Structure 1
Amino acid sequence: MSEHGDQVPGYRMIRMEALPDAPAAALADVEAWQARKAYPDVLGGGGAIFGVAEEIDTGGWKIVSLFSTPYPQGARDTMAMTFREQARAAEDAGDTETQREWLRNAELLDWEALDELTVLGRRFRIVRGDQFIRMGPTGPEPPRPSDPDPAKVGHGHEYRGRTKGFVIDPFTPTGMSEGILRMELLSLVHAKGTAPSAVREDSLRALETHPGGVLLPAGFTAAEFSDGHWAPTQMTNASPQGSRDTLTTYLRVMAPVMEQLDEETKAEYGRLADRIDAERCDEIVIDGCRTRIVRVERLVRIGPDGPEGPRPSDPDPELPTSVQEKQLREEGVLDEYRVRDEEETEQRRVAEEQAKEFLRLFEEQKRRREGAAEA
């Protein structure tokens, strides 16, 4: 099924099919439909994210990296790392010429902000994704029962998720609910007055240049209700447990040092973290504020030439690594450290003390989780 009939370009098609032979997929489709009723509003979910994809011969683009960096340059650095991994593989195979070609392109990315490269006939691109959150009367949508959450407490970082290796291909059939959601998300643009004019113009232009789209596997974050609205408090994770672990690390390790908590508050934060670990709960109250693990929908727009890359209005404050290093050297930042006065010495001492406290609290949390796992 397509949203405009059978005579439209392939990149604009949305093939929706019943999934009777896939019980897990059918259950996920039912949950997606139920979410439309419980959480009817779809809102922006924290800005664009970027990853690296490679065009494949069978059609579509395969994601070859994690898809979470908030700036295009982070994805370009990942592309350079991918090329260096290919160079090492060529070196191991004794193919010096191929190794040199991969390294040449990796070094090119160290100096230039390039969003697409073809290396030895293989086409790579920095791909842009939009994030969305479903919202209802009780707040944002939490994880669904069918969302994969296999990691044990404290091991959320070990689950890399389903995004790496995912193929961006509009021809892949989808369930009815996901297909409807794709149509909804593809029509969304920034309303007038809700974003800078350049951002709104880019979102309107994308309706024409990249009218198709594919949903990536869902991500997860923590959001806090404060001053009458919900706001994300961490980067997107691959699983609900990854977000819970990020939250408990903040409560046990980051907050005590960065916020200089008193002993009573530190103990309360520790109890909250223990509860999250014990119950694997997705909502808790911290300092009177509701904090919830939230499900994040992620959409990649597609045009005639494949998935959308970075937009001119996307924030891109980071420089290529070699350019940044050159700039820092010219400014003297990378010169040998010299203590110039007593104030600088004190700042260094405070930083060292904070680092020691971070390490102590981190090791304490690690021992606690190891003990819980053995028990």
Structure 2
Amino acid sequence: MAELGEDVPGYRTIRMTALEAPVAVLADVEAWQARDGYPDLVSGGGPVFGVAREQETGGWKLRRLFCNDTPQGARESMSATFRRLAQAAEREGRSADHDECMAAAVRLDWEKVDEMTVLGARYRVVRAERFIRTGPDGPEPPRPSDPDPAGLGEGTEAPDPSKDLVIDPVTPTGMSEGILKAELLALVRAEGTVPADVRDDSRVATRTYPGGVLLPATFMTAERTAGRWAPFSATDSTSPQAAREVLAVHLRVMAPIMHRLGPKERAVYTRAADRFEEERGSDLEVAGRHWRIVRVERLVRFGPDGPETPRPSDHDPELPILEHDRILREAGELSDEDEDAPIELNEAQEEMLRAFQYEQERRQQRRKRSS
């Protein structure tokens, strides 16, 4: 499926091919079948941001942690990348390269910069829009073909399938992914559903970044309340098991403290969390509440100069770390004495800290028993 015409640029094409790997074929079939049970596409919440490096051979390679909910989080990841490059250059005796990398990192500590060229390579903060399939039964849960390799208690340690992925709109895909990509690229925020500037930016993006690439799916937790599903987890996880463990930790640690549960209620939540992790399901009902692990599609738009950067309307409240520090000092709200002073916790914070420490020890013991 591609646009017609003799001089259509590669970033505006959608190339589909017959898949050969059995796993890829199965995933494409499941993607097509999902259209029956979950025919509608809705926003998965705000966009996420990561860092990509332009490749000499074509495409852009994603750096680790493509999960920031604001552009500033991705800028800080880019700064950390430059510091690691500086350390490597220093070990190898490349002083000029070290200085260039450190200068770029320090600039990001002071300024909001979304693209930089360092050591001859372009690095860019990249934006991905999130979507969820939904139907009469609610949002789509993980599919059988979605990678879920982590063992009990190891969900957060599973490899991120987006890390080091080279994204390029000219790369062929299966039929189902190609059709989904075409559908997502045509979507524009409906009038009245979002602020006017958000809608305007989404309309502009269809012209300035008309191509796109789908990233590996991520997974979030949603809760059904009063007949409606709403996001429950603050961030997405890279595997279904990691999402289950996020919910399980909430049930064992956060919920008992937040809702001041008694011993019997805590035991109910703990048993449900243990069962949910071990059985690796998608839905959990406990104490009259219903949660589901939900599959999230992510689309990176492409234009003639590469992947889409943050939009003017994107939520971007944080300042660069040193600029924020400067403002606090000038306002008299921060001093060197404040930085050296020990952190004092109130009673609720101390209870939460003890609960997390106990949870960490408990998970380590479970992993030892299961290994």
TM-score normalised by length of structure 2: 0.94
Q: How far is the alpha carbon of 1:237 from its aligned partner?
A: 0.6
1:180 alignment partner AA = I
1:26 alignment partner AA = V
Q: Is the 8 A contact 1:141 1:295 kept in 2?
A: yes
Determine the C-alpha separation between the residues in 1 that align with 2:159 and 2:305. Answer: 28
Q: Is the 8 A contact 2:23 2:145 kept in 1?
A: yes
Query: Would you say how many aligned residue pairs link Structure 1 and Structure 2?
Result: 366
Determine the C-alpha separation between the residues in 1 that align with 2:365 and 2:192. Answer: 49
Structure 1's 350 and 30: CA in aligned 2 closer, same or farther, altered over 3 A?
Answer: same
Q: Is the 8 A contact 2:254 2:352 kept in 1?
A: no
Determine the C-alpha separation between the residues in 2 that align with 1:277 and 1:303. Answer: 41
Q: How far is the alpha carbon of 1:351 from its aligned partner?
A: 4.5
Q: Is the 8 A contact 2:218 2:297 kept in 1?
A: yes
Q: Is the 8 A contact 1:257 1:357 kept in 2?
A: no
Structure 1's 285 and 5: CA in aligned 2 closer, same or farther, altered over 3 A?
Answer: farther
Structure 1's 363 and 305: CA in aligned 2 closer, same or farther, altered over 3 A?
Answer: closer
Question: In the alignment, is residue 309 of structure 1 matched against residue 309 of structure 2?
Answer: yes
Determine the C-alpha separation between the residues in 2 that align with 1:366 and 1:145. Answer: 26
What is the CA deviation profile of residues 280-337 of structure 1, one whole-angstrom value per residue up to 9, with x for unaligned ones? 1110113323211111000000011110000000000111011112223334443446
1:129-144 equivalence runs, <5 A:
129-144=128-143
Q: Is the 8 A contact 2:42 2:134 kept in 1?
A: yes
3-state SS of 2:14 partner: coil
Q: How far is the alpha carbon of 1:2 from its aligned partner?
A: 1.2
Question: In the alignment, is residue 45 of structure 1 matched against residue 31 of structure 2?
Answer: no
2:198 alignment partner AA = V
Q: Is the 8 A contact 2:152 2:367 kept in 1?
A: no
Q: Is the 8 A contact 1:253 1:361 kept in 2?
A: no
Q: Is the 8 A contact 1:60 1:168 kept in 2?
A: yes
Structure 1's 337 and 286: CA in aligned 2 closer, same or farther, altered over 3 A?
Answer: farther
Structure 1's 351 and 106: CA in aligned 2 closer, same or farther, altered over 3 A?
Answer: same
Structure 1 vs Structure 2 CA RMSD: 1.8
What is the CA deviation profile of residues 244-270 of structure 1, one whole-angstrom value per residue up to 9, with x for unaligned ones? 111111111122223322222211110
Q: How far is the alpha carbon of 1:22 from its aligned partner?
A: 1.2
Determine the C-alpha separation between the residues in 1 that align with 2:353 and 2:100. Answer: 44
Question: In the alignment, is residue 183 of structure 1 matched against residue 182 of structure 2?
Answer: yes
What is the CA deviation profile of residues 17-41 of structure 1, one whole-angstrom value per residue up to 9, with x for unaligned ones? 111x211111111000000111100
Q: Which runs of 4+ in 1 moved over 6 A?
A: none
Q: Is the 8 A contact 1:252 1:365 kept in 2?
A: no
Determine the C-alpha separation between the residues in 2 that align with 1:10 and 1:269. Answer: 52
Structure 1's 360 and 105: CA in aligned 2 closer, same or farther, altered over 3 A?
Answer: closer
Q: Which residue does the alignment assign to 2:261?
A: 261
The correspondence for 2:347, drawn from 330, 350, 356, is 350
Determine the C-alpha separation between the residues in 2 that align with 1:284 and 1:98. Answer: 52
Determine the C-alpha separation between the residues in 2 that align with 1:318 and 1:356. Answer: 26
Q: Is the 8 A contact 1:17 1:173 kept in 2?
A: yes
Determine the C-alpha separation between the residues in 1 that align with 2:353 and 2:213. Answer: 45
Question: In the alignment, is residue 370 of structure 1 matched against residue 367 of structure 2?
Answer: yes
**Identity over aligned pairs, percent:** 54
Determine the C-alpha separation between the residues in 2 that align with 1:246 and 1:143. Answer: 15
**More displaced stretch, 4-13 vs 286-295:** 4-13
Can you give the 5+ residue segments of structure 2 that lack an aligned partner in the other structure? none
Q: Which residue does the alignment assign to 1:11?
A: 11
1:67 alignment partner AA = F
Q: How far is the alpha carbon of 1:353 from its aligned partner?
A: 2.7
Q: Is the 8 A contact 1:33 1:177 kept in 2?
A: yes
Determine the C-alpha separation between the residues in 1 that align with 2:325 and 2:38. Answer: 47
Q: How far is the alpha carbon of 1:182 from its aligned partner?
A: 0.2
**More displaced stretch, 84-93 vs 347-356:** 347-356
Q: Is the 8 A contact 1:156 1:239 kept in 2?
A: yes
Q: Which residue does the alignment assign to 1:24?
A: 23
3-state SS of 1:79 partner: helix
3-state SS of 1:276 partner: helix
1:194 alignment partner AA = T
